[in-house]
Amino acid sequence: MTMKPLGMLALALVGTLGSSRALADASSLNDNLGPREVAIGEALRADARGSLAITLNPAGLTLSHELVFEGSYGYRPGDGASAASVSACDSTGRIPGCYYYRYFRAAPDIGGTDFNHRSHEFGMVLAYPIAPSLSLGVNSKYFDYNSDLMGESDASGFAFDAGATFHASDVLNLGVVGYNLEHANTPQYPRAIGAGFAVRPVPSLALAADGVWNIELPKGESTGRYGGGAEYFLSGRNMQSGYPLRLGGVYDVNQHAGYITAGVGYMTAKVGLDIAMRKQLSGEQMDGTRELMITASIRVFGPRMAAQSTSPFAAQ
């Protein structure tokens, strides 16, 4: 069955959500991932273009020259979670930057009792190419988190991420990032380290693999969430549009959980629509179920989208 652009626009009402952790445990490292990174096994820290710089690696904002507005909304049935986010990213200037807002709320049912937690987050991303092959970036954010879950407490304050992207060759990018390097003392915004690579052996095919490590888990708990996948860009007949097809997988060491991921998109010079899913295949959530997450977004590009990119990775 062929999915037409208007049908995909309707699906874009399902938004950016998903957490590898137990239903009662919100985590800024996973709750806000969008369809492109989710579909490729939560990878792309080495190729974090546009709004991907917000969730993955702020240094990736220099990899393309574009003005893009993105909006998303979503729902996760397992814990009744919903989220909304909006962002504006401009990488056409001398110092690329993004502004964004996120809202997240979940209402897990634990032992027959409904609980609630919610968060607001405002942030700004800035990046700068300090050399032709090396870019640095920071994400400064303010969050406000409230919860009535046992063992959790309300928290608010500032946090920041810092990352680097290295253009190693015409087909290889490397990325590394530190999350919540300075933050209020709350497990929902833990210090963590992420790293990954992305390669494009041919223009229409991209491969990526990443890992992220929560360095604030209690002593004795294993850490590490590893994922990767592929994207194939199928061009339309008129060569003015295309369909990125994505497939990947994720394994979370702490949760002993494995996932399969997949997604599809539709791209033109003016708009991009993306939808993805992640299905848990091994391990269980704390309520004995296995997670199913659906995520989608819509992007609107400004008139400078077609400007020369600073990376061999096409703006997709």
pLDDT of 309 > 80? The answer is no
Which residue ranges make up each domain of the chain? 5-301
The pLDDT-based confidence of 20 (bands split at 50, 70, 90) is very low
Q: What is the mean pLDDT of residues 180-200?
A: 88
The pLDDT-based confidence of 237 (bands split at 50, 70, 90) is confident
Task: Write out pLDDT tens, residues 85-95.
Answer: 999 999 998 89
Task: Write out pLDDT tens, residues 28-63.
Answer: 777 788 899 999 999 999 999 999 999 999 999 999
The pLDDT-based confidence of 114 (bands split at 50, 70, 90) is low
Q: How high is the pLDDT of residue 308?
A: 41
How many Å separate Cα 206 from the centre of its chain?
17
Q: How high is the pLDDT of residue 112?
A: 57
The pLDDT-based confidence of 175 (bands split at 50, 70, 90) is very high
**Are 61 and 48 in contact, with CB atoms under 8 Å apart?**
yes
pLDDT of 9 > 50? The answer is no
Q: Is 0.75 surpassed by the pTM of this model?
A: yes
Tell which wins on pLDDT, 223 or 314.
Answer: 223
User: 50: closest CA among 122, 102, 123, 99?
Assistant: 99
CA distance 296 to 13: 7
Q: Is CATH 2.40.160.40 correct for 5-301?
A: yes
DSSP assignment of 119-170? EEEEEEEEEEEEETTEEEEEEEEEEEEEE-STT---EEEEEEEEEEEEE-SS
231 bridge partner residues: 206, 246
Q: How high is the pLDDT of residue 182?
A: 83
Lowest mean pLDDT, pick from 9-18, 53-62, 118-127? 9-18
Tell which wins on pLDDT, 116 or 20.
Answer: 116
Lowest mean pLDDT, pick from 76-80, 194-198, 221-225, 299-303? 76-80
Q: How high is the pLDDT of residue 312?
A: 35
The pLDDT-based confidence of 226 (bands split at 50, 70, 90) is very high
pLDDT of 76 > 70? The answer is yes
The pLDDT-based confidence of 119 (bands split at 50, 70, 90) is confident
Q: How high is the pLDDT of residue 235?
A: 86
Tell which wins on pLDDT, 75 or 40.
Answer: 40
Q: What is the mean pLDDT of residues 127-133?
A: 94
Q: How many CB atoms are closer than 10 A to CB 2?
A: 5
The three-state secondary structure class of 5 is helix
Q: How high is the pLDDT of residue 238?
A: 72
Listed in order, strand segments (DSSP E) in 188-291 are 192-202, 205-214, 225-235, 241-252, 257-268, 271-282
Task: Write out pLDDT tens, residues 244-293.
Answer: 999 999 999 988 999 999 999 999 989 999 999 999 998 876 556 788 88
